[in-house]
């Protein structure tokens, strides 16, 4: 589906790939973002767009000489990782529950962390820069090290999937854990304080920003890149453990080289060139989809997911959606669905079947097929996956 410009009076246009009408609050949030003086060219809304904090989740914002910390969000570098294995569906038969239990034993979820750090984590070069991070997180180094290689909570997950040719894929969704959250909160507070001291009028205090060339901008950008690297390596550390578990059950512990590996952020900012100009691109719930870029667009825990390749659509700032997008809030999902609904909607998936994950029920998300149809001009599908094991955060 090609984009449609929203019929709104804003300093820069808002281009939308969503086929649904935005609600009042969503329109207000989009207008607020598009009204900022440093926003470049236009704001792009992905097919899975929905309410966020400050800026919409599923929005791509290009800015000149400024950046908005809350638009990146608190889970800096949150994203996806997937590998295609040489294993096939028949090798999984009778092993799904054991695999799930082994994943849950090897990879901490929720607020849990590792008891000890392994050699790979200890050797991550990012620890050398920890002393340069914001003073507000200096006491968190030990915790950050122990959380490296852990999943977190909310909509984070680990899945064993099958594609349409019955090949086994490993997929997971996670970010920068507590350290990314704390770094973001420190810088968001600083941005809000600068706004207050300068008496700058903003349509929403969560759109407080840093100006390029200031010490505050430089400090945020340094910490942002560090947290994005942490998030990427966190996924690598989990995937290595996950892969070993699968090798134990399907190949007697023998290592096998992945046929394809993908690791992509969907909550982050980078310096890029668009329409011939260097800008800061913030993807808040969006994946980079330059021509030939591989990416991952997951559905809910009972729906299909997609490995994609970007088409490099300039109007989306070479971006695509990061998932199905929520249809209802977590509280609303708990009010509207029962355990019986969860059992029905996750039929055929080896996963937890309790009320503790009702807020992640497939019915709380938009239909992923519609989301994919809306971005046929942004991506091509490389593989269609369906989970057989799902471990939730």
Annotation: binding site for Mn(2+):
75, 156, 173, 266
Quote the CA–CA distance of 124 and 122 in Å, as a whole number. 6
Annotated binding site: 75, 155-159, 173, 266-267, 298-301, 305, 322-325, 392
Q: For residue 255, report the phi and psi dihedrals to the nearest 5 degrees.
A: -75, 145
Quote the CA–CA distance of 225 and 166 in Å, as a whole number. 37
50 catalytic? Reply is no
Residue position matching structure tokens 């984070």: 156
Q: For residue 84, report the phi and psi dihedrals to the nearest 5 degrees.
A: -95, 130
Which of these is catalytic: 134, 187, 315, 322?
322
- The CA-CA-CA angle for residues 68, 72, 74, to 5°, reads 115
Annotated binding site for GMP: 155-159, 266-267, 298-301, 305, 322-325, 392
**Secondary structure in 3-state letters for the chain:** CCCEECCCCCCCCEEECCCCCCCHHHHHHHHHHHCCCCEEEEEEEEEEEECCCCCCEEEEEEECCEECHHHHCCCCCCEEEEEEEEEEHHHHCCCHHHHHHHHHHHCCCCCCCCCCCCHHHHCCHHHHHHHHCCHHHHHHHHHHHHHCCCCCCCCCEEEEEEECCCEEEEEEEECCHHHHHHHHHHHHHHHHHHHHHHCCCCCCHHHCCEECCCHHHHHHHHHHHHHHHHHHHHHHHHHHHHHHHHHHHHHCCCCCCCCEEEEEECEEEEEEEECCEEEEEEEECEEECCCCCEEEECCCCCCEEEEEEECCCHHHCCEEECCCCECCCHHHHHHHCCHHHHHHHCCCCECCCCHHHHHHCHHHECCHHHHHHCCCCCEEEEEEEEEEEEEEC
Question: Torsion angle, CA of 332/57/362/156, rounded to 10 degrees?
Answer: -110
Residue position matching structure tokens 């578990």: 245
List the catalytic residues. Answer: 322
């Amino acid at each position: 589906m090609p984009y449609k410009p929203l019929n709104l009076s804003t300093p820069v246009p808002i281009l939308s790939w969503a086929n649904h009408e935005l609600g009042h609050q969503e329109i207000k949030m989009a207008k607020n973002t598009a009204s900022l003086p440093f926003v470049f060219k236009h704001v792009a809304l992905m097919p899975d767009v929905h309410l966020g904090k400050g800026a919409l989740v599923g929005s791509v914002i290009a800015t000149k000489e400024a950046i908005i910390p809350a638009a990146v969000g608190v889970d800096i570098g949150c994203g996806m990782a997937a590998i295609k294995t040489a294993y096939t569906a028949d090798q999984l038969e009778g092993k799904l529950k054991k695999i799930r239990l082994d994943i849950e034993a090897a990879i901490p979820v929720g607020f849990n962390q590792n008891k000890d750090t392994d050699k790979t984590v200890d050797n991550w070069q990012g620890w050398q820069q920890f002393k340069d991070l914001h003073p507000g997180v200096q006491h968190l180094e030990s915790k950050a090290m122990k959380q490296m290689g852990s999943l977190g909570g909310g909509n984070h997950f680990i899945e064993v999937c099958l594609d349409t040719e019955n090949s086994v894929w490993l997929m997971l969704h996670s970010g920068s854990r507590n350290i990314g959250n704390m770094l973001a909160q420190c810088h968001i507070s600083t941005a809000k304080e600068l706004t207050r001291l300068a008496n700058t009028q903003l349509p929403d205090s969560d759109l407080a920003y840093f100006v390029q060339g200031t010490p505050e901008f430089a400090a945020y950008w340094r910490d942002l890149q560090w947290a994005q690297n942490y998030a990427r390596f966190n996924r690598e550390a989990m995937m290595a453990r996950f892969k070993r578990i699968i090798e134990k059950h399907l190949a007697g512990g023998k290592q096998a080289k992945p046929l394809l590996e993908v690791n992509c952020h969907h909550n982050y900012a980078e310096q890029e060139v668009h329409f011939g100009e260097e800008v800061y691109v913030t993807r808040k719930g969006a994946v980079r989809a330059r021509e030939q870029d591989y990416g991952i667009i997951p559905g809910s825990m009972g729906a299909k997911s997609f490995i994609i390749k970007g088409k490099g659509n300039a109007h989306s700032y070479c971006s695509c959606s990061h998932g199905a997008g929520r249809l209802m809030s977590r509280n609303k999902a708990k009010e509207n669905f029962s355990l019986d609904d969860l059992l029905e909607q996750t039929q055929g998936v080896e996963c937890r079947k309790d009320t503790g994950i009702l807020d992640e029920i497939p019915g709380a998300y938009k239909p992923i097929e519609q989301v994919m149809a809306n971005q046929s001009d942004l991506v091509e599908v490389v593989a269609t996956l369906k989970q057989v094991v799902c471990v939730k955060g």
